Structure 1
Amino acid sequence: MNSFSKGALYVVATPIGNLDDLSRRAMDTLAQADLIAAEDTRHSVRLLDHIGVRVPLVSLHEHNETSRIERIRQALDDGQRVALISDAGTPLISDPGYRLVQALREADYTVIPIPGPSALITALSAAGLPTERFLFEGFLPAKSSGRRQRLSDVVELPVTIVLYESPHRIRQLLEDIEIVFGERHLVVARELTKTFETFLQGTASTLLARMMDDPDQMRGEFVVMMAPAPEKAPADSGQIDGDQLLSSLLEEGVGVKQSASVATRILGGRKSDWYQRAQAIKDGGFCN
């Protein structure tokens, strides 16, 4: 492969499920690498066995990435060809590799992308949601309070919001989306490119009900996509309804700022005004 340069790092996208999605260029790159830096070497061995590649492996994950930089730099200085792969998909996209690539770029090493599968793009391409503008938030915080805060930060954006989630927290994520996003349209993709690939669509509450009825729908890795924020309703909604909405949100443990964001989206008006009203209700008063 004449175009395969020595002393370069190759960032190689690998399949997210179906091994046949590995491109010919990616196969050639892995076969001619002198060293492969893999997120989990035990996992990557299965892919390499599938394509008949025997190349030395070194682990590179979130806990040891910084300490591996010098090891990779030395290999490149020795003229070796190093491939970086993650467990699935494109490295650096909610996967390790950013600190390595940043360090090598700053030191003027050659870094070459070998494009291929990405759960983010795969899900968006078949979701039926607007794709001219979207915001990728990756994995949200593990704690509900942190998730709700991040969700409230993006709830009013006129773009498709894309998240990743694990099977262990998909139910909790949807519960938080229901509180912050209300009846917003969602598309949830799971097991992409695998045998049980599924796209579910509806509101967070309907998807929660579907998963509770069929626990198999909570298996696998998830891409969760929310439709862009709708146009705001006129700001002349009734005062009592607004207070009832804020009171309900606060009783559910939603923060003042998040409650104000939800009220603004549903009822219109200024977020600062709703914030003051929510704070007054929380403090036990009433804002006239």
Structure 2
Amino acid sequence: MKEAQFYLVGTPIGNLGDISLRAIETLKAVDLIYCEDTRRSQKLLNHFEIKKKLISAPYFRERKSVGLVEEVLRSGQRVAYITDAGMPGVSDPGSILLGEIRKLGYRVEVIGGPSALTNFIGLLGVELEKFEFVGFLPAKRAQRERFFSESLSIPKIFFESPHRLESSLLIIQEKKPLAELCLAKELTKISERFYEGRATSLLKSIESWKGEWVGLIWPDEDKDNAAS
């Protein structure tokens, strides 16, 4: 196993105070930081007075970045990877890069951090022993219609774009009018909001679609039975 190291580092999803001491220490200790977007990551580094070179490696360039990262590691330097917010690899880039670097024989470490998924589950207020996380809902309406037409046996948690959430709720209103949902946006921020109800009521009660959304749709039976 080579001595050089590659770190996947979780960063705040909204409130900068959620970053871990270990994440700060790691970002200060590495020689180079690859990231999803240099503009977003530079703000994070500036806030914590971390002076490191940033190199862009978004999702669509992740595989192409493997060779560049391996070259840096081969020289004995340590590298970290961060995304715009949250835990790399959870509906964000990072997992492909880490997997390929590990295949090359380098030691990799994950520095845990905030995740919209786990924060959302904590907000539900019920025991959620079984669920399926599907990541972001499909961008195409036809695919979302098929998704919400399927029978549900366990709760499904999803991320959704603010530009598509209203459309998705209209689909649910048509395909599963009796389904109970939970929605949250802007987790850990001052503008954080949490909603519960059927699609029809949510379409009326949500005042603004702006923000990053996490949602859960309960199975066809009631949510108390689904969570047990």
Same-fold call, TM > 0.5?
yes
Q: Do the aligned partners of 1:130 and 1:160 also contact (CA within 8 Å) in 2?
A: no
> CA separation in 2, counterparts of 1:94 and 1:181?
25
3-state SS of 1:44 partner: helix
CA RMSD of aligned residues (A): 1.5
> CA separation in 1, counterparts of 2:174 and 2:105?
47
**Closer, same or farther: CA 10–208 of 1 in aligned 2, 3 Å:** same
Partner of 1:7: 4
> CA separation in 1, counterparts of 2:31 and 2:19?
19
3-state SS of 1:156 partner: coil
Q: Do the aligned partners of 1:6 and 1:81 also contact (CA within 8 Å) in 2?
A: no
Structure 1: 5+ residue stretches without partners: 232-288
Q: CA deviation at 1:43?
A: 0.4
**Closer, same or farther: CA 229–129 of 1 in aligned 2, 3 Å:** farther
Partner of 1:170: 165
Identity percentage of aligned residues: 40
> CA separation in 1, counterparts of 2:111 and 2:130?
24
Q: CA deviation at 1:190?
A: 0.4
3-state SS of 1:102 partner: helix
1:186 to 181, 184, 199: 181
> CA separation in 1, counterparts of 2:3 and 2:197?
50
**Superposition pairs of residues 89-108 of structure 1, within 5 angstroms:** 89-108=86-105
**Superposition pairs of residues 179-258 of structure 1, within 5 angstroms:** 179-211=174-206, 214=207, 216=208, 218-230=209-221
Q: CA deviation at 1:180?
A: 2.7
Q: Do the aligned partners of 2:87 and 2:112 also contact (CA within 8 Å) in 1?
A: yes
**Closer, same or farther: CA 130–229 of 1 in aligned 2, 3 Å:** farther
2:152 aligned with 1:156, yes or no? yes
Partner of 1:60: 57
Q: CA deviation at 1:174?
A: 1.1
Q: CA deviation at 1:170?
A: 0.8
Partner of 1:81: 78
Q: CA deviation at 1:108?
A: 2.2
Q: CA deviation at 1:71?
A: 0.6
Superposed CA deviations along residues 106-142 of structure 1, whole A, max 9, x for unmatched, are 2222110101100011011112344111111111111
Q: CA deviation at 1:78?
A: 1.2
- Which stretch of structure 1 is more off in the superposition, 122-131 or 60-69? 122-131
**Superposition pairs of residues 117-132 of structure 1, within 5 angstroms:** 117-132=114-129
**Closer, same or farther: CA 33–6 of 1 in aligned 2, 3 Å:** farther
> CA separation in 2, counterparts of 1:114 and 1:178?
40
State the TM-score, normalizing by the size of structure 2.
0.92
Q: Do the aligned partners of 1:162 and 1:224 also contact (CA within 8 Å) in 2?
A: yes
Q: 1:136 is matched by which residue type in structure 2?
A: F
Partner of 1:16: 13
Larger radius of gyration: 1
**Closer, same or farther: CA 129–172 of 1 in aligned 2, 3 Å:** farther
> CA separation in 2, counterparts of 1:163 and 1:228?
14
Q: Do the aligned partners of 1:123 and 1:189 also contact (CA within 8 Å) in 2?
A: yes
**Closer, same or farther: CA 107–151 of 1 in aligned 2, 3 Å:** farther
> CA separation in 2, counterparts of 1:11 and 1:169?
30
In proportion to residue count, which structure has more strand?
A: 2
Q: Do the aligned partners of 2:3 and 2:107 also contact (CA within 8 Å) in 1?
A: no
Q: 1:10 is matched by which residue type in structure 2?
A: Y
Q: 1:24 is matched by which residue type in structure 2?
A: L
Aligned length: 221
Higher relative contact order (CA 8 A, sep 6+): 2
